[in-house]
Amino acid sequence: MKLAEALALRADSARRIEQLRTRIMSNARHQEGEEPAEDASALLNEVGAVIGEFETLLRRINRTNTAAHIGPQEGTITDALARRDALRLRHSVVTAAADAAAGGNQGGYARQLRSELKMFSALPVAELRARADELARELRELDVRIQRANWEVDLLE
């Protein structure tokens, strides 16, 4: 099985666990004289089995991510995932700074009278936008390399 397939199974398991949690909560109590729509105990047993499979998948995915090297710059998949998370944070912060410096968070406020205070940008908006574009490009390229590795790397036991 390829890593990408295991990641898809992990996502399916997570959705299944959440669905079972919702069903358990809906059927955990009922009125006297009424029967719940589903057996909450059976659902608890089912979610226990799904969580066990989920844990096994996570262990195998983590082992694979730690062992699989995808390139000299990226290192392991785990290293690349950490880099991707950091790039996302950097992009978010730089974009937010550019928006704030440009007055994008002022909700349509505009100076109407000469006596009102004039606002000045404390940051170079154009440079921040260019930096955000560069970070977005790096992020896209790294994400492609990670996705490629997900389809090329076999899942470890």
Phi and psi (nearest 5°) for 134? -65, -40
At 73 the pLDDT is 84
| Separation of alpha carbons 1 and 7, rounded Å | 10
What is the model's pLDDT at position 61? 97
Spans of all domains in the chain: 1-67, 71-152
* Burial tier of 117 (Cβ tally within 10 Å: 0-12, 13-18, 19+): exposed
What would the mean pLDDT of 65-74 be, rounded to a whole number?
A: 90
Check if the beta carbon of residue 154 is closer than 8 Å to that of residue 1: yes
What is the structure's pLDDT at 120? 79
CA distance 157 to 150: 16
| Tens digit of each residue's pLDDT (9 = 90 or more) over 74-126 | 899 999 999 999 999 999 999 999 999 888 665 545 556 666 777 778 888 99
Using CA atoms, how far apart are residues 132 and 153, in angstroms rounded to an integer?
A: 31
The answer on pLDDT for 1 being more than 70 is: yes
Task: Report the distance separating Cα 155 and Cα 157, nearest Å.
Answer: 7
pTM of this prediction? 0.78
